[in-house]
């Protein structure tokens, strides 16, 4: 099992997967439009540009399942370097580093963005939800995977968290454009 077997293909061919990709692409376009309308505010404009690019990357990743390729590369390295038996400890360290980095980035964004509009701050909260979800999925702990696979009112938790965060950003983008028009 030291061979790379991942292949390019549709990562999540379910209705939920396609709806999520559609939301990512909607967020990409909505953030791009908002960025275009903020010509006189370069700081806020950069936030919406970054969000637009990030959502495009996430849309591509959602269906190509690129994180599975990275996971497989990690497993191959672990086996070849003889630390596969300690992979859970390595996962914990990696997740700890990622969470710490995410917290530092979030705190930096809060300080940097404190004077931005309410909708832009809300969009940052939405992207924090999405990035948090992506980090949780990347960690691939089985007990977490079981939880996010459970349902609430017929909706899986992974849909609620991921689609909810994307929707928050879309609504914040629409809200911000409304402020610019009014």
- Interval 122-151: pLDDT, tens: 998 898 888 877 777 766 655 566 666 677
Greater model confidence, 106 or 180: 180
Closest CA to 47 of 59, 27, 60, 32: 32
Kindly state whether residue 6 falls inside one of the protein's structural domains. Answer: no
Total count of domains within the chain: 1
Kindly state whether residue 167 falls inside one of the protein's structural domains. Answer: yes
Q: Could you write out the DSSP letters of every residue in 69-127?
A: HHHHHHHHHHHHTT-GGGHHHHHHHHHHHHHHHHHHHHHHHHHHHTTS-HHHHHHHHHH
Kindly state whether residue 172 falls inside one of the protein's structural domains. Answer: yes
What's the pTM value of the predicted model, to 2 decimals? 0.78
Kindly state whether residue 7 falls inside one of the protein's structural domains. Answer: no
The DSSP element (H or E) to which 151 belongs, if any, is strand 151-152
Structure tokens at 45: 């404009």
Domain housing 129: 15-181
Kindly state whether residue 4 falls inside one of the protein's structural domains. Answer: no
Amino acid 140: pLDDT: 62
């Amino acid at each position: 099992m030291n061979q790379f077997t991942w292949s390019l293909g549709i990562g999540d061919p379910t209705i939920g997967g396609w709806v999520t990709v559609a939301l990512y692409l909607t967020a990409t376009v909505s953030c791009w439009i908002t960025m275009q309308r903020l010509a006189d505010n370069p700081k806020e404009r950069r936030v919406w540009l970054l969000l637009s690019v990030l959502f495009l990357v996430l849309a591509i990743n959602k269906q190509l399942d690129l994180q599975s390729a990275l996971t497989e590369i990690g497993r191959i390295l672990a086996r070849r370097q003889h630390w596969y038996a300690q992979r859970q400890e390595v996962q914990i360290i990696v997740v700890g580093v990622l969470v710490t980095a995410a917290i530092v980035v979030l705190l930096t964004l809060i300080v940097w963005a404190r004077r931005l509009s309410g909708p832009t701050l809300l969009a940052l909260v939405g992207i924090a939800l999405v990035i948090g979800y992506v980090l949780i999925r990347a960690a691939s702990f089985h007990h977490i995977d079981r939880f996010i696979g459970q349902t609430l009112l017929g909706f899986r938790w992974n849909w609620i968290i991921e689609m909810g965060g994307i929707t928050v950003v879309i609504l914040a983008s629409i809200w911000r454009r409304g402020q610019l028009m009014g």
